[in-house]
Structure 1
Amino acid sequence: MPDEPLDDYRVLVAVGHPLRRRLLDVLRVEQAATTSALAERLGVAVGSVSHHAKVLAEHGLVVPAPELAKDRRERWWRLGDARISWSSTQFADDPAGASASAAAYDLSVRLQLERLQTWRTERGSSSREWQDAATSTDTWLHLTPEEARELAEELTAVLGRWADHGRQGEDPRRQPVFAFAHTFPSRP
């Protein structure tokens, strides 16, 4: 499903919370999990996960998955169909929306940089194969705003194809890999 621009900044408020963002990330990797498994993975109380999952469910970001439950006491969650895409100017005329947009973006960047720093400090404990496979790349481009949007759409499509590919078949060497990219005007 392609990303569609948000029309409600409250979705950004929902994903702008660090625990809810981590909960989404776990479900992106695991596909589905029980409330208790999520609580254990995130190191928080079951009640906290339940509350935050319900907030995300209000916006279609996660959905209950009762078909996975072994009994009525087990509460399963999986990712919903909703995707998150927004422009930094989309809510510029609404102070609450602009604040939510900035907070969600800042949290995303902080988490991306934290993951990168964790990899840098822990990469020596990974196999040589994974150390060789990890990449870092950047380049300078000369683009119009329209071309930058087209590039972003292409990058999103490539990452989406690879996200789907990673769910095909079982290879014991397959493990979660975090990929991110940013494009923005800048000067050297």
Structure 2
Amino acid sequence: MAEIKDEAALRAVAHPLRRRLLDALRVDGPSMPSALARATGQAVANVSHHLRVLAEAGLIEPAPELARNRKEHWWRMADPRISWNPADFTPEAADAADAIGLQRQLDLIRSWVGSPASRDEPWGTSAFATDAWMRLSPEELAELGEEINALFAKYRGRPEREDREPVFVLGRGFPARP
């Protein structure tokens, strides 16, 4: 797992387009800037700039062995799992990175909710949303998080198959009041 300890790397993650680029590389694997530009609706030069920022932060790396000629520049995730501890950063930097991540999650949820695919079989009845109010200590919340991460790890990285699609799963736990 890539553990972000550097504020420049955290700032690299805290950008909407760079989050989308990381998601595309996670889901679809190595890619070229032109393909990522098409997938995100951005100019190739803009995507190339943001890929360089992610590379400087150590989050992605070149994949030269995939190039068929000297003009092709392929990129891949250095590690598909990225984490950071908010305590390692200024509150402003940690909050900004978390806000971008939350916005990305909300955007993905909004694109699903109300879409025709959300009502069609088989995904319409397979998709789920869940939440719960619990009374937990900080230690119990940490234990729950570890169990959820272990469950995610069980399903992450499964090989491609005809019946498998990219699926976004969200889990968060935090103290709150109704």
Does TM-score exceed 0.5, indicating one fold?
yes
Q: Using the TM superposition, give the Cα deviation of residue 176 of structure 1 relative to its aligned residue in structure 2, in angstroms.
A: 0.8
Fraction of identical pairs, as percent: 46
Matches within 5 A, 1:100-179: 100-124=93-117, 127-165=120-158, 168=159, 170-179=160-169
TM norm structure 2:
0.91
Q: 1:71 to 1:163 in 2, by over 3 A?
A: same
1:31 aligns with 2:29: yes
Q: How far apart, CA to CA, are the structure 1 residues paired with 2:8 and 2:79? A: 17
Q: Using the TM superposition, give the Cα deviation of residue 126 of structure 1 relative to its aligned residue in structure 2, in angstroms.
A: 5.7
Which residue in the other structure is 1:66 paired with? 64
The amino acid that maps onto 1:85 is S
* Contact 2:19–2:104 (8 Å) recurs in 1: no
Q: How far apart, CA to CA, are the structure 1 residues paired with 2:100 and 2:114? A: 21
Deviation sequence 1:105-132 (CA, Å, 0-9, x none): 0111111112111111214466311001
Q: Using the TM superposition, give the Cα deviation of residue 90 of structure 1 relative to its aligned residue in structure 2, in angstroms.
A: 3.1
- With a CA cutoff of 8 Å and minimum separation of 6, indicate the structure with the bigger relative contact order: 2
Unaligned runs of 5+ in 1: 92-96
Q: How far apart, CA to CA, are the structure 1 residues paired with 2:137 and 2:84? A: 19
1:186 aligns with 2:176: yes
* Contact 1:57–1:63 (8 Å) recurs in 2: yes
Unaligned runs of 5+ in 2: none
